[in-house]
Amino acid sequence: MTVPPILELKDLAKTYQVRQGMFSPKLPLKAVDGVSLSIPRGETLGLVGESGCGKSTLAKLLLGLEKPTAGEILVDGVAVSGASWRKELSRRIQPIFQDPYSSLNPRKTVRRIVAMPLEVHGIATAHERARMVEEILDVVGLPRRAADSTPNQMSGGQRQRVAIARALVMRPEIVICDEPTSALDVSVQAQILNLLLELRRDFGLTYVFISHNLAVVEHLADRVAVMYLGRIVEDRPAAEVFAGPRHPYTRALLESVLTPDPALGVPDTRLGAVFPNPIDPPSGCAFHPRCPHAAERCRGDAPAPKADGGGRVACHYPIERTA
């Protein structure tokens, strides 16, 4: 019998109803549009794409913070749904968000913040919880005295360590990291990435690692999924993607990070035309207005994902393999 992946998404979709002006009618916005992905236990999926493509919405669906409009999420092969889904899964799936300042109460002590998930789930006695907090602070490289500090007394990197400690104190199996280093200085980013790598090894974690920057996932991801306007356009083993992207959008993202400008938070994809309005997506392949190779067919006909080596690519005219 084959072991099911720890996490599997089947045709997952989330449509928001939005107004563009106060008096205009509500229109559907497909933030996540038919996403299917599979993540084996212990692997890291790097989910990349420009701001607004739907990465955080996908993270919220995985965390049970938003309800899918369609599709399924399976954990260890079992479909999860219903009202108890969030609580049931928060033991197994924990988030680390981009901005620890807004996700951590700045006036509570680190001790309280990190103990909170344990309290909410009624895990252990107060005495045991205190010990578990000290242990996890050690694990994330914070001194014990940090327990009595508040986040507003700490640096950005230390705050992100607190957020990691809070996620790990529950001993989750899956960690959803949504741009966990994007708000940090470049030197601190590397420290946090290294910490996440160590933790993956020591705790056997499975990560969904989200970034707008393909370069950030290079040293972490086993697999890379590239998202454009709510859809996955390329999903392949990371080594293959970095050796030779197949989708023109992936190549544009890669080229944009070959000339990194640390002052720029968002890589310049040099794609000219701006990211399309998700309420009024382009016809055919959503990427065609920005694609250097777009042909007539791309304007009318949306490409379905096709098997490609160890993964899938959704493009009528994928880039030729060089190797």
Ligand X SMILES: Nc1ncnc2c1ncn2[C@@H]1O[C@H](COP(=O)(O)OP(=O)(O)O)[C@@H](O)[C@H]1O
213 interacts with Mg ion by CB under 5 A:
no
Closest residue (Cβ) to ligand X?
56
Side chain identity, residue 276: P
Binding residues among 7-26 for ligand X as defined by CB under 6 A:
16, 18
Judged by CB under 5 A, the stretch of 48-56, 158-166, 253-261, 263-271 that binds Mg ion is 48-56
Q: Which of 55, 14, 30, 15 is nearest to 226 (CA)?
A: 55
Which 120-139 residues touch ligand X, going by CB under 6 A? none
Smallest separation, CB 252 to Mg ion (Å): 19
Whether the CB-CB separation of 242 and 254 falls below 8 Å is answered with yes
Q: How far is the CB of 259 from ligand X (least distance, A)?
A: 22
Bridge partners (DSSP) listed for residue 14: 32
Torsion of CA 302, 307, 313, 318, to 10 degrees: -90
> Of 44, 56, 211, 250, which one interacts with Mg ion (CB under 5 A)?
56
**Binding partner of residue 275 among ligand X, Mg ion, none, CB cut-off 5 to 8 Å per kind:** none
31 is a site residue for ligand X (CB under 6 A): yes
Total residues at the site for ligand X (CB under 6 A)?
13
* Contact string 39-58 vs ligand X (x = CB under 6 A): ----------x-xxxxxxx-
CA angle 90, 92, 96 (to 5 degrees): 70
Structure tokens that stand for 156 in this block = 């950005």
What b-and-e string marks burial along 142-170, b requiring 16 or more CB atoms within 10 Å of the CB?
beeebbebbbeebebbbbbbbbbbbbbbb
- As given in the structure block, the two tokens for residue 155 are 């640096």
Cβ of residue 268: shortest distance to ligand X, in angstroms?
Answer: 17
CB 240 within 8 A of CB 221: no
List the x/- string, 261-300, binding to ligand X by CB under 6 A. Answer: -----------------x----------------------
Residue 80: which of ligand X, Mg ion, none does it interact with, CB under 5 to 8 A by kind? Answer: none
**18 interface partner picked from Mg ion, ligand X, none, CB below 5 to 8 A per type:** ligand X
State yes or no: residue 95 binds ligand X (CB under 6 A): no
H or E element in which residue 191 lies: helix 186-203
In this structure, the dihedral spanned by the alpha carbons of residues 103, 182, 65 and 21, taken in order and rounded to 10 degrees, is 100
Q: Could you say which residues in the range 56-85 bind ligand X, by CB under 6 A?
A: 56-57
Comparing CB distances to ligand X, the nearer of 49 and 267 is 49
Where does 40-101 show beta strands of DSSP type E?
A: 44-48, 70-75, 78-80, 93-96
Binding residues for Mg ion (CB under 5 A): 55-56
Binding residues for ligand X (CB under 6 A): 16, 18, 29, 31, 49, 51-57, 278
